[in-house]
Chains A and B, each alone.
Chain A
Amino acid sequence: MALNVLVVDDSAVMRAMILKTLRLSGLPLNELHEAADGLEGLTLLKNNWIDLALVDINMPVMNGEELIAKVREIPELADLAIVVVSTESSATRIQSLRAKGAGFVHKPFTPEMLRQIIVEMTGISDE
C-alpha cells in the first residue's frame, strides 16, 4: 500500500520541507496534497482519500487543534492517522493532542524522526 498524504501548514517553505523529507524517507507514497490552513485541509480530506495528515498547530482561519477536532467528529474521517508537526513544547498541550489520537513530532525534525512517527501511526513500512 502506498500512502496518500496531506500536509497542512501555513508556511509554504515548511510544506516543501516536509514533502521533500517524505520523498527521501523511502516510505511508499502515492498522492501528496498540500493545504495552507485547517479549513483548506478539511476540504481536501472530505474530497480525497487520504491515509495520513501531517498538521501544524498555529495556523490562520482554522488551527490544527480545531482541524483535528473536526476530523474526529466526521465518521468517515474519524480514524485518520494524524501527526502534528509543530514547535509546541507544552507537555499539557502535547498530551491533549495525543489524547485525540494524534502523533507528535517537534520542529525542527530530522528525517528519521518524521519517518519513525509515520511508521508508528500508519503501520506502513518500506520493508
Chain B
Amino acid sequence: MNKQNAGALYKAGLSVFEDLGLMLPTPELDESQLEATPAAAALVRFDGPISGTLVVVLFGEDLLPSLTANMLGEMETPSEEQQKDALREVTNVICGNMLPNLSGLDAVFNLDTPEVLANPGNAPELGTPDTLVRIGLDSGRADLQLYLTRR
C-alpha cells in the first residue's frame, strides 16, 4: 500500500468526520470497532490526472444515524433518505479533499455523483483496494477504500 496515498486518504477522512460529522475519530481501533459489521456504504468515481473510485464503508448500525443527526444538528433519528444523503455528501467531501493531497492544487478533477451501495458488505467488483485506511468512530469505524484505474 502506498504510504503517501494512505496518508492523504486518512487526513481527508479525519478532517471530514471531525468538521462535517462533528465526531471524534480515534486513531487506535478497539475490539468493538474492529468487530462491527458493515452497515452502509457509498462510492464516488473521479477522473483527472489519476482516475479511480473511492468507497466509504461505515461499520456499526448506529454510526450513520449518529453522523447524520450531527450534521443536521438534530436529536431525532434522521430519516433513511437523510442518512443516504449524508453518506453521499461525506463520501463526496472526503474524495474532494483527498485528491489535492494526492495530486496537488493545480490538478483538475471531475467527480461523478456519489452512489449509495445497496449491499454495504459487498462492494462492487473493484478488486482489492490500492489503499485502505480505517478510522475509529464511536462504537464503529469507517473504512476508506481507494481503487485506482490503471491506464
Shortest beta-carbon distance, A62 to chain B, in Å? 14
A89 to B99, Cβ gap below 8 A? Answer: yes
Which B residues have a C-beta under 8 Å from some C-beta of A? Answer: 15-16, 18-20, 68, 71-73, 82, 85-86, 88-89, 92-93, 95-97, 99-100, 105-109, 111, 113
| Known A-B contacts A11-B85, A58-B113; A87 and B107 likewise in contact (beta carbons under 8 Å) | no
| Known A-B contacts A12-B82, A17-B71, A17-B72; A107 and B93 likewise in contact (beta carbons under 8 Å) | yes
The total of chain A residues at the interface (CB under 8 A) is 21
Which A residues have a C-beta under 8 Å from some C-beta of B? Answer: 11-14, 16-17, 20, 58, 60, 86-93, 107-110
| Known A-B contacts A13-B71, A13-B85; A87 and B19 likewise in contact (beta carbons under 8 Å) | no
On chain B, the residues within 8 Å of A86 by CB distance are 96
B108 to A13, Cβ gap below 8 A? Answer: no
Find A58's partner among B19, B20, B111 (CB 8 Å cutoff).
Answer: B111
